[in-house]
Amino acid sequence: MKAYDAYADALFRHCYFRLYDRERAKDLVQDAFMKAWEYIAKGREVENIRAFLYRILHNLIVDEFRKKKALSLDELKEKGIDIIAHEKLDQNDAMEVEKIISLFARLEPKYCEVATMRYIDDLTPKEIAEITGESENNVSVRINRASQKLRDLMQIS
């Protein structure tokens, strides 16, 4: 099993690239760990803790989108993408991350979701299917379409 630190970073990254809001992303990741704790404290077994955490986080993000409309690219530009200067991130990296955010924000939510899990979280179609509750086949098809859309957007930009 991986340490808390490794899971926290990966989960945070996933949430950040779905919400584009650093503070809110931290809140949801914290909530995900708390909910995992609640589940485990009731004596329930979890086979794959990584997938379990991602599933909880995914559901929290879906709830967040239910309460608040996802930001469009225009709204995101107006709000300002808060790439915080971090010890691991130089100016060039920050620009590259902004480009990625701009690309992903142009995707429809269902494609953005699988593209984030596939290319940012490096999850397999099987793992994504387990997290979203969809069939592996549906997930694979959606990943292919999302990939094509991303390539088209990259060529345009």
Partner 1 sequence: MNDLNKIKNITEKITLSHEEKIKMRGGILNFIASNSVSKVNTQRLLDKWSFFNLFNLNLKPMPAFLGILLILGTSGGVSLAAESALPGDLLYPVKVGINEEVRAAVSFSAESRANWDARRFERRLEEAEKLAHKKEFNSEVRVKMEENFEVHAERVEKRIADFESNGKTESAADLSSNFETSLNAHERILTKIDGEEITKFLPKVRAKKGSAMLLRVKLEARVSGESNMEAEAAAESKMKSAEHKIMEVRAFLEKMRARLGVEATADGEARLNEAQKIWMEGKMKVDIKAYGEAFALFQRAHRIAQEAKLLIEAKNEFNVDFKTREKEESEDKILEKKEKEEQADANVNTNLNIEIENESRIDADGNEAESRGKGQLDVRFNVGI
What does the binding site for partner 1 look like in residue numbers (CB under 8 A)?
Answer: 1-5, 7-9, 12-13, 16-17, 21, 23-24, 26-27, 29-30, 33-34, 37-38, 40-41, 49, 63, 65-69, 74-75, 86-89, 93, 96-97, 99-100, 119-120, 122, 147, 150-151, 154
Nearest approach in angstroms of CB 128 to partner 1 is: 15
In the complex with partner 1, the residue whose CB is nearer, 99 or 110, is 99
Distances (CA, A) of 117 to 3, 39, 78, 147: 20, 24, 26, 12
Comparison of 41 and 133: residue with beta carbon closer to partner 1: 41
Least distance from partner 1 to the Cβ atom of residue 134, Å: 21
- CB count within 10 Å of CB 157 equals 9
- Of the pair 135, 148, the CB lying nearest partner 1 is at 148
Residues 6+ apart with CB under 8 A from 15: 24, 25, 28, 29, 57, 61
DSSP letters for 44-77: ---S-HHHHHHHHHHHHHHHHHHHSPPPPHHHHH
Nearest distance from residue 137's CB to partner 1, in Å? 21
Quote the least distance from Cβ 121 to partner 1, whole Å. Answer: 8
Nearest to 11 by CA among 54, 46, 52: 54
